[in-house]
Amino acid sequence: MMDYVDLVFLTMGLLALSSVLFTFLTVRTKDLMYAVIYSSVQSVAYALIYFLLLAPDIVLVYVAVAVGIYPLVIILLIKKVGRYEVRV
Amino acid sequence: MRDIVFMSLLVVIILALTYLTYSGGLGDLPPQDIRVIARNYLNLTYNQEISWLWAASPEAVTAIVWDYRGLDTLFETVVFYGAILAALTLFRSISKIPEFVSSAGLSLIVKRVTAIVTLAILTVAASTALHGHLTPGGGFQGGAIASVAPLLLLVVFGKQFFIERKITYSKLLSLRNISLVLLGLNSVALVILGFLIGVGGFVFQNQAKAVSVLSYPSYLLDVPLGGSLFFFNLFEFLAVASGFTLVFTILLSRDDTLRKELEGEELGY
Amino acid sequence: MDIELIKFMFMLTVISLYFNVAISLYGVVAKANLVKKLIALTIFQDTVNMFTILVGYKLWRPGLILQPPVLTDLSPTSETIKEFVERSVDPLPQAFVLTAIVIGLAVTLFLTTIVLHVSYHFKTVNVDEISKSKRVYIHEEAV
């Protein structure tokens, strides 16, 4: 029967695999608003891995910075600069 | 064509690194035991028997950031200050112009709910920052949380809200500069005090050492106060919150106000 | 507690982070839009910080429960401190990563204001179009 220690590491492995999928989607898409959303989901996966690695100070900093401040600043930039990526 | 070459190069590098990691290149994964220096830091951080080397805070990460490795944090503060200063200098001439059209803000329901939530955000941020020596948290985490509240007020109520209550750009800039000066003074406070009395003192000194008897108080009535760590957390909280508020004030201006920064460039100035 | 499963899952995490580094590096170098480059650069910084904290972890053993580096007893005896040292995770990489996250944030804020200035001056944020217009400009000056 599975111990809770095995469950911790299993969750860590699955979260890392899902973050690879979301990083690939971020780099691939042409609509910059979708890129910001995918990047935020990948940051949530990273924050859960930091919690499983027993680093609570880093979780507080990382959630405030990568899910709060980065998407805000980049959405402001998209509004002023242009939403779609045009290939020349 | 160039993309395909670059992608295949990356795939080759990933396969090589995977093979090296699998055959033991990074040592055992996960490591068997932590390093000797980490054992020393964990042993000394709240140990009253070795009272000439302790840091008076049961939280090991805050003690390492502000006491045992304080010089790294000094340089990080300098880099952060320089980067915010550079970002504000690029839009310097529009910081004094008031907006000609004041916005009415969003609807009444949103305004009332925002007014209640802002108090909660500021309380949580202050608690996270000031308890940094007892629980996970600290100055920078509290400052990043506390910068969400002025941002919400700017979006929901409009920029006139701040100007009417006389919270101007210059006042926020002075708050940031004063709290950074007090942070610097806090790190050399015991050196100056030792100079005046005639005893020796160290830079970034927190508690009494073997060659110098000056120290910050380590208990407040019966709760551990981390010595100088409490004051470091408080000043860092104020500096970070006001720094982020300044950058958001500039970036949330109207588009034609921001373009006014670059007028006259066809003529060469 | 299955030691083989634990080691396999940890290795899987490290290899997924190698993939993340490769994909974000491709995004920084090969994409032509400046905002996409900025987003990929933030992903790259976050992955490198994750590597640093993976170094400070410790292997579970039967009978040993790990804990984060925070002492919960406010008046500890020397037995409590010895147990704390045996059980806790390494606090030094966490202090380094705290500094590194702050520096990465400061650089990103500065780059945002630079991208705004570039977009107002050249009327575009595509790197290929900027280099084409600069070539025309230099040619006009020379003639």
Residue B80 lies in a domain: yes
Per DSSP, helices labelled H in C2-73 are: 3-30, 34-55
ipTM for this prediction? 0.93
Interface touch C106/B258, C-beta < 8 Å: no
pLDDT at C23: 93
pLDDT at A58: 94
Contacting residues of B for C55, CB less than 8 Å apart? 31
Domain boundaries, chain A: 4-81
Question: Which H or E run contains B229?
Answer: helix B228-251
- Asked if C110 contacts B254 with a C-beta cutoff of 8 angstroms, the reply is no
User: CA nearest B60: which of B75, B38, B76, B33?
Assistant: B38
User: CA nearest C101: which of C56, C54, C57, C50?
Assistant: C50
pLDDT at B242: 94
> At how many degrees (to 10) do helices C127-142 and C92-122 cross?
50
User: CA nearest B217: which of B147, B133, B155?
Assistant: B133
Interface touch C7/B37, C-beta < 8 Å: no
Residue A1 confidence class, pLDDT cut points 50, 70, 90? low
Query: Structurally, how many domains does chain B consist of?
Result: 1
- Asked if C101 contacts C49 with a C-beta cutoff of 8 angstroms, the reply is yes
In angstroms, the first-to-last Cα distance of chain A is: 57
Name all chains with 3 or more CB-CB pairs below 8 Å to chain C. Answer: A, B
This model's pTM is above 0.80: yes
* C-alpha to C-alpha distance for A50 and A65, rounded to whole angstroms: 14
Q: How far is CA A17 from the centre of its chain?
A: 12
Q: Tell me the two tokens of residue C61.
A: 């053993």
Strand partners, C61: C64
pLDDT of A36 > 90? The answer is yes
Name all chains with 3 or more CB-CB pairs below 8 Å to chain A. Answer: B, C
Residues of chain B with pLDDT under 70: 99-101, 267-269
pLDDT at C141: 77
By Cβ distance, the residue of A57, A65, A80 closest to B61 is A57
- Nearest CA of chain C to the CA of B82: how many Å? 9
pLDDT at C64: 83
Mean pLDDT, all residues of chain A: 92
Query: Structurally, how many domains does chain C consist of?
Result: 1
Contacting residues of B for C74, CB less than 8 Å apart? 58, 224
Interface touch B259/C90, C-beta < 8 Å: no
Interface touch C97/A58, C-beta < 8 Å: yes
Whole-angstrom CA distances from C118 to B247, B248, C115 are: 18, 19, 5
* C-alpha to C-alpha distance for A69 and C104, rounded to whole angstroms: 12
- Nearest CA of chain B to the CA of A7: how many Å? 16
Interface touch C10/A12, C-beta < 8 Å: yes
* C-alpha to C-alpha distance for B245 and A32, rounded to whole angstroms: 25
Q: Tell me the two tokens of residue B150.
A: 């002025």
Q: Tell me the two tokens of residue A20.
A: 């690879």
**Mean pLDDT, residues A55-74:** 93
pLDDT at B231: 92
By Cβ distance, the residue of B82, B136, B140 closest to C70 is B136
CA angle B6-B10-B11, nearest 5°?
A: 120
Contacting residues of A for B148, CB less than 8 Å apart? 68
In angstroms, the first-to-last Cα distance of chain C is: 77
Interface touch A61/B144, C-beta < 8 Å: yes
Residues of chain C with pLDDT under 70: 1
Find the domain containing C81 and state its range. Answer: 3-142
pLDDT at A6: 86
Find the domain containing B133 and state its range. Answer: 58-262
In angstroms, the first-to-last Cα distance of chain B is: 42
Q: Tell me the two tokens of residue B222.
A: 């019966």
Chain C, residues 68-87, CB within 8 A of chain B, namely 68-74, 76, 78, 81, 84-85
- Asked if B62 contacts B133 with a C-beta cutoff of 8 angstroms, the reply is yes
Residue B214 lies in a domain: yes
* C-alpha to C-alpha distance for B179 and B177, rounded to whole angstroms: 6
